[in-house]
A and B are shown apart, each in its own frame.
Chain A
Amino acid sequence: MKQPLLDMRNIVKSFSGVRALNGVSITLGDGEVLSLCGENGSGKSTLMKVLSGVWPYGSYDGEIYFQGQQVKASGIRDTEALGIVIIHQELALVKELSVMENIFLGNELGSCVSLNDEMMHSRTRELLAQVKLNISPDTLIRELGVGQQQLVEIAKALNKNVKLLILDEPTSSLTNNEIDILLGIVQELKGQGIACVYISHKLDEVLALSNWVAVIRDGNHIATKAAAELTQNDIISMMVGRQLDELFPRENHQIGETILQVTHAKASQPGASRCQVEDVSFSLRKGEILGVAGLIGSGRTELMQCLYGCYDGDYQATIELSGQTLQIRSQRAALKAGIAMVPEDRKRHGIVPIMGVGRNITLSILDRYTAWFGAIDEEQESHDIHDAIARLKVKTATSELAIKNLSGGNQQKAIIARFLLTKPKILILDEPTRGIDVGAKYEIYKLMFALVKEGVSIIMVSSELPEVIGISDRVLVMHEGRLKGEFDHQGLTQEKIMNCAIKEAESA
């Protein structure tokens, strides 16, 4: 066999005595794609940090060979010089700079007194063409969507003469359309001999894209197999170490009377010509799970923000909850009325990172514990915290551990716990399973069904169509701020939803 491009041998990495990686070995040839699968916290990201030099040589055991040479990187600059580029889940672009400036950040062309703008400009255009991005090099990053930003990151990597591209969950916040473009580009790079390590929870992408699939569980290398020999279920059972009966544990539940009626919802940014939500009316019944699908930018998140009183702009809607007309102008008002929302962006809008898990959970209901002089009844509080942690199966050493130390799935469970404690009649979940592992997803679905059985109504916004179909009783599809369709889950297919969400756009 000819010499592999990358050969990581027996990598062991410990954090204060805890082994995050326990002798993981992977190899990869030119132009091959290796997908790394594992639940969150399994050690995938740690392995990639070792590879990309975030953890310098000497801070781990084992050896890395790249193009036959042992890598002894002391930082990310060394590995980039070799042609190993990592693109993180959280994009590392400077929002206020242009595409060109970002691509050449740190590698500017020209002399130290004057930059060669023309050269950088034309090079940027070449790179953008390579990633099929039809925008001007002078566009500011903040004007781009997440998907386009992702592509700019790849263009930036191409500019560095990349030989091995590491993509850490690149598609977790992209729409299907954007995902297709991204996957196409990875395929093309593959053809040009650029190898790729691909980390994703989306197994259909994994199978479509990779030559090899390596599964890591609890820091152990479980197996590396040719993608062609695997099915999604094989991968899942390797990841979780057990067989999941089914991805979506749908349970029968009683659906009651209409509890929420929203009519003529309208939302727009001040000064903007187009409304983000335009004349949307819908209803929700007691004990129902209502899925809301649509591309990013279709107005689904904004519609939910109107319901939760946190839309940043002008909005109006007639909201009738249990027959009472409501004015919801703040999150407080929404919670008081019995509407709670678990926000989409967990890091920005969900967790208070340095606070303990328990205190994160009770943040919304502190008023309930206060007696004289505003003192918190800590006994009652810790009682509730322990109940919530047990009910949602939040895996944490103690309730006082800072929540940032938890995996994404457990953070999400804690945030859901926070809003459940407000005893909502209506629970809005915006992308409830984004970026969390299969096991936690399953538990969240189970919880959703348990909740609707108790009579809570759920609105779930999601980009993952299998999830929308698998969990919802009824599905709304939004497009460009308008409600484009309403479907019963029975007989619903991904194609039907996509047709509704995209096709009408083409005709319009």
Chain B
Amino acid sequence: MLKTIKTNQLQLLAMLTAMLLIVLFFSFATDGAFISPRNVSNLFRQTAIVGVLAIGMVFVIISAEIDLSVGSMMGLLGGIAAVLDVWLHFPIMLTILITIGTGLLLGLFNGWWVAYQKVPSFIVTLAGMLAFRGILVGLTDGATVAPTTSALGVIGQSYVPTGWGVSLVLLLCLGVIAKVYRRRQAKQKHGVVNDSAKFEYLKALVSIAVLLSLLAILEGYRGIPTPILIMGVLILVAAYIAKRTAFGRRVYAIGGNIEATRMSGVNVERNKMFVFGFNGMMVAVAALILTSRLGAGSPAAGNMAELDAIAACVIGGTSLAGGVGTVFGAIMGALIMSSLDNGMSMLDVPTFWQLIVKGGILLLAVWLDVKTKKAQ
């Protein structure tokens, strides 16, 4: 066990170090502008969309599949949200419900082809990538659907009031401590060797310190951006699903060895379809944030977003071979990607360089991962 825990921790440590280096580098290069409250807030809002996509994608990749359609699907769902809002004047709650419901259906549709019809997910979702974009362009006649109502704008543009934000984060901090305490209790009860108390509580304190300083920085601007609150809630929910539920466990098992999982009496087809369904819902949430932020549904929205989401998962330690990955890692991956975007934009690095650097980082991250795994 020590060995496996060490591997996981090593990976986490490597990611945190990379993140720290990126932050330090850009902070110096921009004379501190990178970590100004305004920019951090901005950076986080940029992360939210890729982050939410990565939350859905990480489940797909853990189950040893891939989804190339999320960019187009996000565009389409964002377009639908805009149409409902701008053209049809639907109430906001209905718009949200219909968008998320449609996301679920599109995801299940992909999943049905993959799981029950045994068409490789690469192909199914490549088809989706083309078709969803086509539907979007057809639906909107290739024009931007704008302007969205202020009610829809709340999702992507507003901030959580200070009082609420502070209490939520404090609650979260309490939760972190309670979790460590409870886990230690449970382990003790089963006679499993605990890491030293100091070490575990130190870890908890570090994460609380990070949470609180982020809160301080964000409150220094306008408060916690609503998309970040949404992403935060989804992280908690998704991490819970991955770690604590039978469904999550089965997804890891399916990715680890689908045949053995089937022989164990698990309904692998249904679970796989649900993975895609869940992913579809995440895409819908991302689409709502996107449309709300842009204030419009655009036929080009979400172009290539699937690649960002996949890159975020992979940088975050998710294995394309399946069976390995964490929600937290994928979010870290998304944060690293958007930090690079943001930092390089601040430094006025030309777009073409930005692409080259991002590609290089992706390659480097996976190469390092392969190397360290081999060394063991």
Contacts and interface: CB of A to CB of B under 8 A. Distances in A.
Contact of A355 (B192, B253, B262): B253
B4 A401 contact: yes
Contact of A402 (B4, B192, B253, B263): B4
B247 interface: yes
A376 B256 contact: no
B250 A378 contact: no
Interface in B283-329: 323-324
B244 A375 contact: yes
Nearest to B262: A331
B249 A348 contact: no
A348 B264 contact: no
- Count chain B CB atoms within 10 A of each CB in A363, A370, A374 and give the residue with the most: A363
A370 B244 CA distance: 10
Contacts of A366: 246, 249-250, 266
A423 B185 CA distance: 30
A310 B263 contact: yes
Given A349-B259, A354-B323, A369-B246, A332 B253 contact: no
Contacts of B267: 330, 332
Interface in B236-289: 240-241, 244-247, 249-250, 252-253, 256-257, 259-267
| Contact count band on B | 20 to 34
A93 interface: no
B186 interface: yes
Contact of B190 (A336, A353, A386): A386
Contact of A354 (B186, B244, B324): B324
Contacts of A373: 245
Nearest to B245: A374
Interface in B218-245: 240-241, 244-245
A353 B257 contact: yes
- Tell me if B's interface is mostly helix, strand, loop or mixed: helix
B190 A310 contact: no
B371 interface: no
Contacts of A422: 265
Nearest to B250: A366
Interface in A334-377: 334-336, 341, 343, 348-356, 359, 363-364, 366-367, 369-370, 373-376
B265 A332 contact: yes
B198 interface: no
Given A349-B259, A376-B246, A379-B189, A363 B264 contact: yes
B323 A335 contact: no
B88 interface: no
A348 B259 CA distance: 7
B356 interface: no
B325 to A, nearest CB: 11
B1 interface: yes
Contacts of B192: 382, 398
| Contact count band on A | 35 or more
A459 to B, nearest CB: 16
A50 B290 CA distance: 57
B246 A374 contact: yes
A374 B241 CA distance: 8
A352 B253 CA distance: 6
Contact of B256 (A310, A348, A353, A398): A353
Nearest to A351: B260
Given A331-B263, A349-B263, A374-B246, A355 B4 contact: no
Interface in A391-405: 397-398, 400-402
Contacts of B189: 379
A2 interface: no
A129 B143 CA distance: 73
Interface string B154-193: 0000000000000000000000000000000010011010
A370 B259 CA distance: 23
A375 B4 CA distance: 24
A249 B12 CA distance: 50
A373 B246 CA distance: 10
A383 B190 CA distance: 8
A364 B190 contact: no
A418 interface: yes
A343 B264 CA distance: 10
Contact of B264 (A336, A353, A364, A400): A364
Interface string A248-261: 00000000000000
Interface string B183-223: 00010011010000000000000000000000000000000
Contacts of A334: 265
B250 to A, nearest CB: 7
A467 to B, nearest CB: 23
A115 to B, nearest CB: 32
B323 A352 contact: yes
A97 B249 CA distance: 38
Contacts of B240: 375
B245 A375 contact: yes
B235 to A, nearest CB: 16
Given A375-B244, A401-B1, A422-B265, A355 B256 contact: yes
B257 A352 contact: yes
A398 to B, nearest CB: 4
A341 B245 contact: no
Given A363-B260, A379-B189, A401-B1, 8 more contacts: A330-B267, A343-B260, A355-B252, A355-B253, A364-B266, A366-B250, A376-B246, A422-B265
21 contacts: A16-B3, A331-B262, A331-B263, A336-B265, A348-B259, A353-B257, A355-B253, A359-B249, A363-B250, A363-B261, A364-B266, A366-B266, A374-B241, A374-B247, A379-B186, A379-B190, A382-B190, A386-B190, A398-B1, A398-B192, A402-B4
In the complex, the 10 A-B pairs of residues with the closest C-beta atoms, listed nearest first: A352-B256, A366-B246, A398-B1, A374-B245, A335-B265, A364-B264, A352-B257, A400-B1, A363-B264, A331-B265
